[in-house]
Amino acid sequence: MSADIFVSYAWTSDAHRAWVRLLASHMHLIGYAVAIDATVDYGSSLTGFMREVTDAKHVLMVVDDNYVYRADSVPGSGVAIENEWIRSVYGDRESGWLGTLFVNNAGCCLPAWLRDHQPKGFNFNSPPARPDYPGSEQINELWRWAEGLPADKANAVPWSVLRNRASRLEHIDNLRDPGRWRSPAMSGTVRFDYNDHPNRTYTLGYGEFEFAVSVSGAGNDNIYVYADSMKAVGLILTDDYDEGSVSKFLSPGRTVTPRVGQRVVVLNHNGALCVIRIDAVQREVNGSEYVAPYVTFGYDILVNQ
């Protein structure tokens, strides 16, 4: 699949390479597939990678003074070779295909073959005489160029709004991530903010020893535990019980209501057993300050029973 943005730059110095790769990371962060030589696997053909410039949706040429020198005066350099590929297809591409980013290039000079074309340019130079550093405005301009949006921002949605929207979407996706509501260990302690889960279900263990435990609020110090995703559930009525006979507490009912300090036993569809101890219960409070409900429980999956 062709890249959204192919980054062409000179290996002027370690600091310059780090700066360009950081820029590429920013573009990747806002959703673009970025082709840059840092992604080429060791032993792969760098020449083959450079040819990919002709297939990219956009090319971003990071032009420092050394880039211009190497494009014009060092024919065998990587910069010169990439420029040959860019030049070979430039006339067949739309006007916004190539963008030029100027950094450490106070005169905003271009390679000789490109000077008459004057492609879209972005000034990332930092004037030494004053603390005027490139930042969000230039990144915004890069994004508008890649999207083919006009320079006029009259209809632009502010970045703060986009960020808030993306944050809300990611928050909900994170809450729905099955990995958030799962503990594959055979024993442990879990805090379950059950109102955040669509089905109020927490999965314990794995394979034949997997238990999908469903709960809901009941009172100040107790909780409903359901057999909906299990074969059966039961309330353990004594502290002095034997794991070998704990199944006697199972019942055919749909739910049990243990208090803090009590235990329940659940049976999965493979016939395996798990003992759950209720350590803490927080009921939902809809007052001047909202308090979300949760349950903290310890569990032991009885792998030898």
pTM over 0.75: no
Cα radius of gyration rounded to whole Å, the chain: 31
Q: According to the model, what pLDDT value does residue 45 have?
A: 47
Is residue 119 pLDDT above 60, yes or no?
yes
Is residue 300 pLDDT above 50, yes or no?
yes
d(CA 267, CA 273): 5
Band of residue 213 on the pLDDT scale cut at 50, 70, 90: very high
Alpha helices in the chain (DSSP H): 14-29, 46-51, 65-73, 78-90, 136-147, 159-176
pLDDT in tens, 13-32: 999 999 999 999 989 988 89
Q: According to the model, what pLDDT value does residue 133 have?
A: 65
Q: According to the model, what pLDDT value does residue 163 have?
A: 82
Give the mean pLDDT of 180-202.
94
Q: Which of 89-93, 101-105, 141-145 has the lowest mean pLDDT?
A: 141-145
Is residue 140 pLDDT above 90, yes or no?
no
d(CA 105, CA 126): 9
3-state secondary structure of 236: strand
Band of residue 44 on the pLDDT scale cut at 50, 70, 90: very low
Band of residue 132 on the pLDDT scale cut at 50, 70, 90: low
The phi and psi torsions of 168 (rounded to 5 degrees) equal -65, -45
Q: According to the model, what pLDDT value does residue 138 have?
A: 83
Average confidence score pLDDT of the chain: 90
Sign of CA dihedral 52, 54, 60, 63: positive
Q: Which domains does the chain have, with CATH numbers?
A: 5-152 (3.40.50.10140), 176-301 (no CATH)
